[in-house]
Structure 1
Amino acid sequence: MNAKGKNSIKESKTKMTASTLMRLAGLSAMLAGLCMVIMGLFHPVNIPEAVTTTTWVNVHIAATAMSFFGLFGMAGLYARQAEKSGWLGLTGFVLMSLWFGIVMPFSFTEAFILPRLATVLPEFVAGFLGMFTGVPSKVELGVLPTLWNLSGPMFILGPLLFGIATFRAGVLPRWAGGLLAFGALLIPVGAMVPAEYQPEVALLTIALALTWLGYALFSERRERSSEVVPGKVSSQLSQTEAK
């Protein structure tokens, strides 16, 4: 086999690997969206009494998983349309990724640490939950309140910009991008409804859009004839020439 045949096989394998990574990223985005649905439907009210319940723990395990899968999923969604989404898509991608990155340690703390501290350090638990409800904390929480306050605008601007960029790019389903942007506009509305309904208003529309985009990326059909066949043909021709 000559050098040309080897290069063709390497190029084919590279393209197959990129396609596989895109599918995995799409699957990750779908899982992130489904975890967000769980949060929207079952998130308890942020009160100390709820911290020790099974529902609280399970919901925040789902939130931790959402952040993990969301980071990889967003990378794939952006990479798929990077050329056409422009600076708007890049900005939305960065903001949404930062939001996932901030939410992950918060959710991990809520799932695995707060329940253990509920009876030992109730003031810390109440202060931690106060970041979400606006109640001043009696204990010093350091930089945590600042980080959480920054995450709010990220969760509005990130989906809004990325959704608009997706709609304009037309690479992934336009209406999924439009739904993502619309969900971002609903987030401020969530602050006006009773606390028990806020997760549904703020999360479910974005969750649906993220799941839709992930499914589109996961199920997208590549023209495998242009990815695999040329490499095999070149390899066969090279072997024939060598003989």
Structure 2
Amino acid sequence: MSITPARLARSAGLAAVAAGLLFIGVQISHPPLDAEFATTTEYTVRQSLKVLMSGLSLVGITGMYLRQVKQAGVLGLIGYLVFGAGYLLMMSVEVIGAVVFPTLARMAPGYVNDVFAVVTGGHASGDIGLMQLLNLASAATFLGGGLLFGIGLFRANILARWATVLLAAGSVATLAIPLLPQVNERLFAIPTGVAMIGLGYSLWHGLRAPAARRLNGTVSSPLHQAGAK
């Protein structure tokens, strides 16, 4: 199998679909984040899936941007860079959560609970150091990047437009979480997850169809030539 830009782009589409499914899946029946939960096997599994989701998402949005790099323009580039930074920072937070927090939860449960409080949109009762800045940077780049990237994809008008609107709208809607304390904040991951699935499928299907047409044309050409003789 030869490696071509089209094959890489289609693979990126599948990565985005998988990332969207994981983003929704890890939210299902998610226990409250606290130091006690951080010592369980379920926590480690969920964190590992979140790390995988972040990596697949980064691959997916890279394929989306490269598919329409000319049409996306400057706004698309800025949106991609900011959104990509958001996923990189998210991956960093999730890796720390998976590798460091299970042990730290036994030694300093108060600190872990404070970090989890900030991650879920609350406030820490103590000093959590640079984790405060890392979480803020992760949230700002992920939400801002999702909005800008969604607008850039919408203007490029190559991938499914409903999914680009959902990506942008889902990013903005997340800002309402602090104003809706009675609403499960994990529900706000669903629009972004669905948007990634839609965009990934659109990227995969949009490149698969032309490839199939080219293949059919290549196969039928000798037959036509033989008939002409």
Q: TM-score, normalised to structure 2's length? A: 0.83
Three-state SS of the structure 2 residue aligned to 1:119 is helix
Closer/same/farther in 2, CA of residues 214 and 225 from structure 1, 3 Å limit = closer
Residues 184-240 of structure 1, C-alpha deviations (whole Å, 9 max, x = no match): 121012222337711212x1101100111011112222245658977xx9xxxxxxx
Closer/same/farther in 2, CA of residues 228 and 97 from structure 1, 3 Å limit = farther
Match of 2:203 among 203, 211, 217: 217
For 2:73, give the aligned amino acid: G
Q: For 1:193 and 1:62, how far apart are their aligned partners in 2?
A: 27
Three-state SS of the structure 1 residue aligned to 2:28 is helix
Give unmatched runs, 5+ long, in structure 2: 222-229
Q: For 2:199 and 2:181, how far apart are their aligned partners in 1?
A: 30
Residues 40-94 of structure 1, C-alpha deviations (whole Å, 9 max, x = no match): 3343323223222343222211110111111111110111111111112111111
Give unmatched runs, 5+ long, in structure 1: 1-12, 234-243
Closer/same/farther in 2, CA of residues 72 and 162 from structure 1, 3 Å limit = same
For 1:135, give the aligned amino acid: A
The answer to whether the aligner puts 1:183 opposite 2:170 as a matched pair is yes
Three-state SS of the structure 1 residue aligned to 2:39 is coil
Match in the other structure for 1:137: 126
Three-state SS of the structure 1 residue aligned to 2:179 is coil
Aligned length: 217
The answer to whether the aligner puts 1:152 opposite 2:139 as a matched pair is yes
Q: TM-score, normalised to structure 1's length? A: 0.79
Q: For 1:192 and 1:57, how far apart are their aligned partners in 2?
A: 30
Residues 113-154 of structure 1, C-alpha deviations (whole Å, 9 max, x = no match): 212222223244234324323214345x3x332121122221
Identity of aligned residues (%): 29
Q: Is the 8 A contact 2:15 2:200 kept in 1?
A: yes
Structure number, greater radius of gyration: 1
Q: Is the 8 A contact 2:150 2:168 kept in 1?
A: yes
Closer/same/farther in 2, CA of residues 227 and 82 from structure 1, 3 Å limit = farther
Q: For 1:90 and 1:169, how far apart are their aligned partners in 2?
A: 11
The answer to whether the aligner puts 1:34 opposite 2:32 as a matched pair is no
Three-state SS of the structure 2 residue aligned to 1:48 is coil
Q: Is the 8 A contact 1:96 1:158 kept in 2?
A: yes
